[in-house]
Structure 1
């Protein structure tokens, strides 16, 4: 089942127009959400990021879009797909209603929510080999638009093809200033000694949910110091550890970048704290 504009419909009957603005112009934003046994992880963060993304895109937010209403929409879909007692991944997409060309005919929106089962209830650290490289063919533009989850993901798609063609597990993206911004599918953390650095939002970094949670966790961890600052490619090979974060996997350690191999001690330490925070949040 899929939620299409508030109605539960069979997947085979869930259709949108070829003139849908999300398809035609990338005029759409979305959230990837993790639900465990009917509980939405970090729901407040997801809700406020979605509202902020819609405002940035100048979409008209319906009066009905309260946290309680959208939460119930997700839970009803989970139940309809028999996922109430298991882990699930939700994609909540909002698009501007069709009409107009570059200039929309309206700022009103439609939405679609779909759900799929996940294998693990909580985050498990993947300690298998995970090699990354820089993707330098195209750049992320620093600024507010790059911080939201929109359908305009051409750089991520091309970077993913590059990674696949060259047998890398992931790639890191650069902005126009040649600073390292993030991975293809998540935020980057760089560990050097007791300091953990992650690029700032002003560099064009996605405003990641797990990124925010880890920054808060690290601020409360006395033996570690967190810093939001630009990262140069040169720093990567000098680091003790690199890891990538997103809502689907939690924390993904990097084992190799070029000739440098990394440990995953800090990632292993943080995954437990992240799971604890997920239970609370």
Structure 2
């Protein structure tokens, strides 16, 4: 659905209406998976960021009540990059509509390892694994880092510390959990930005969070505001999903009812064409 050839069509579709009404669109016939899930399946990381920056729910659930993180923790392609991406945006493990407990997470760790996803297993196990964090108390040798943000790369069990990579400088440090607190990315505080221009995604990096936030503020007050989720918004999202399938020529995936309606419409379209040709003949005479 979101291969290289269709990415431009998806961006065109997103831009035709209000983006924030479309980013949470779901594909009902595909298990009610969200657009974020589809982008993750095709490893379109910039598109994932673009959706999240425009208010996509990082914990959107499918028809089974599973979150995107839950689905990709067991993915056979071992997609650690996209798992790290959504973890930094606050993704959680949801199963059957409920957040996974610590006991259940332990069982999941064993299953992930058995599936060959040991890296992801080790990443999601600790409390701050893969999370974007703020340094709340800097070590004595780095007292200038208080208030700065970083991303946890790995938990070092032997020393009970986290190896983190500082945002904007890429400096790698070992910090205690007491030095850190979660600061998930949000549309107002993402640390980077992905924008769409001429149906192309452009990734922007910054020198600081302040510079990033100033850039977002300059785009307008409505940028980064989450859409209120209600029955009206859900209906718009469902219609948006149907529009996307039609835009990509995938209406046949919508189910038997839509196929039946197409067959019923074919004679009407055919008769309409005959009338048009007849009109031309009369005009020639």
Tell me the TM-score normalized by structure 1. Answer: 0.29
Tell me the TM-score normalized by structure 2. Answer: 0.28
